[in-house]
């Protein structure tokens, strides 16, 4: 089910004085050459005094360039790589950067080597997050994904990168944070678990939300089953966020809100 764009336009205009429009159409380059399409949309943009106008032809335009940052947990990284391999994510993965040293014969390293994707191991410390080196490695990317990257990016990094960064985390925050959040939640007897994908801002884990998913657990679930179900939610939630982003389905407005067109 899609979002009713007329309701969106009306509600946002009443609340914020904004009008947002999202349109999908079938593109036939023989009937409507891309150069002419760009010219037509540019004229429409000027006519309506649009602050921003984006036109993207999936399967024709170059894929967005993506770099992935990850720590020791592999589940989101491996899922992202396999979704990309299966053609579900229209991105060009430029590199994977990690503060965790994966051995040469691990699944991740074998996959990356097979597809010619560079892997950069940058060990971090409390006093050196290696951010200057990371910025250099991702300078040519269109956006970044933090696939359970367990380091906080500084405001300096965000200001220097100046492009979108998508993060994923379990939905057990803020009650269960720090080490072993799955065990903490399991021992507390929670009944709902979840995952949240969002844009990164200077406020930790408080950027505009893109996607959220939940699942019900019970006393019948072991700790291992509990953690596995949580990780499955994180993988799915991150995959959807990346897909929405590449398909230009996310519109940000106000300070901390998004609309995601289904």
Structure tokens at 116: 């010619």
Q: Is 205 a catalytic residue?
A: yes
| Of residues 100, 110, 44, 41, the one with CA closest to residue 74 | 100
For 166-185, b/e burial (b = at least 16 CB within 10 A) is bbbbbbbeeebeeeebbeeb
Q: What region does 241 belong to: left with phi over 0, alpha with psi -120 to 50, or beta? A: alpha
For 21-48, b/e burial (b = at least 16 CB within 10 A) is ebeeeeeeeeeeeeeebeeeeeeeeeee
How deeply is 71 buried, as exposed, middle or buried, from its count of CB atoms within 10 A (0-12, 13-18, 19+)? middle
Q: Which of 11, 164, 205, 221 is catalytic?
A: 205
- The catalytic site residues sit at 205
């Amino acid at each position: 089910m899609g979002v009713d764009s007329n309701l969106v336009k009306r509600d946002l205009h009443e609340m914020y004085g904004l009008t947002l429009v999202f349109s999908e159409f079938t593109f036939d380059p023989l009937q409507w050459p891309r150069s002419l399409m760009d010219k037509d949309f540019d004229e429409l943009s000027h006519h309506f005094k649009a602050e921003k106008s984006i036109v993207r032809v999936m399967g024709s335009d170059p894929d967005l360039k993506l770099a992935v940052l990850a720590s020791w947990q592999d589940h989101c990284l491996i899922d992202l790589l396999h979704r990309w391999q299966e053609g579900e994510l229209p991105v060009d993965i430029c590199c994977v950067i990690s503060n965790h040293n994966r051995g040469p014969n691990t699944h991740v390293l074998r996959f990356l080597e097979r597809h010619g994707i560079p892997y950069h191991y940058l060990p971090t410390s409390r006093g050196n997050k290696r951010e200057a080196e990371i910025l250099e490695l991702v300078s040519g990317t269109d956006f970044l994904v933090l696939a359970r990257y367990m380091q906080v990016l500084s405001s300096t990094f965000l200001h220097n990168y100046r492009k979108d960064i998508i993060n994923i985390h379990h939905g057990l925050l803020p009650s269960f944070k720090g080490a072993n959040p799955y065990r903490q939640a399991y021992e507390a007897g929670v009944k709902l678990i979840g995952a949240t994908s969002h844009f990164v801002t200077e406020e930790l884990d408080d950027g505009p939300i893109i996607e959220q998913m939940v699942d019900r657990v019970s006393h019948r679930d072991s700790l291992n089953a509990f953690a596995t179900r949580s990780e499955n939610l994180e993988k799915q939630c991150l995959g959807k966020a990346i897909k929405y982003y590449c398909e230009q389905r996310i519109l940000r407005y106000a300070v901390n809100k998004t609309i995601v067109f289904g």
